[in-house]
Amino acid sequence: MAKKKPNDTTKPAAEKPRVHKDLDGFDIQINSFGEITTSFDMDRINEFLNKNVDDKKLRDREDIPGRKTRKKKKTSEEEEEEEE
């Protein structure tokens, strides 16, 4: 018969995860009704995500302020034109 492994309870429950410096103090909880509660306003979280996360569906949009854009890679045709 296999032995049961003892539960590892040596980790402190209050240990906070590492977060980006702009999100310092961010806390998220799920209450007994299943609702998500956060310590930051949702607009602040969305602003952070727009600046720091590349969303492939929104890459070509110019109407979103503060959004990072990816630099286009040169295609082989463009490289040949520059060499000539």
Q: What is the pLDDT along the chain (84 residues), one digit of tens a residue?
A: 677 777 766 666 677 778 889 888 888 899 999 999 989 999 999 888 888 888 888 777 777 666 655 555 556 565 555 555
- Residues 30, 36: contact at Cβ < 8 Å? yes
Q: What is the pLDDT of residue 33?
A: 95
Q: What is the pLDDT of residue 79?
A: 56
Q: What is the pLDDT of residue 72?
A: 59
Q: What is the DSSP string of 15-74?
A: PPPP--GGGTT--EEE-TTS-EEESS-HHHHHHHHHHH---TTSTT-SSSTT---PPPPP
Q: What is the pLDDT of residue 30?
A: 94
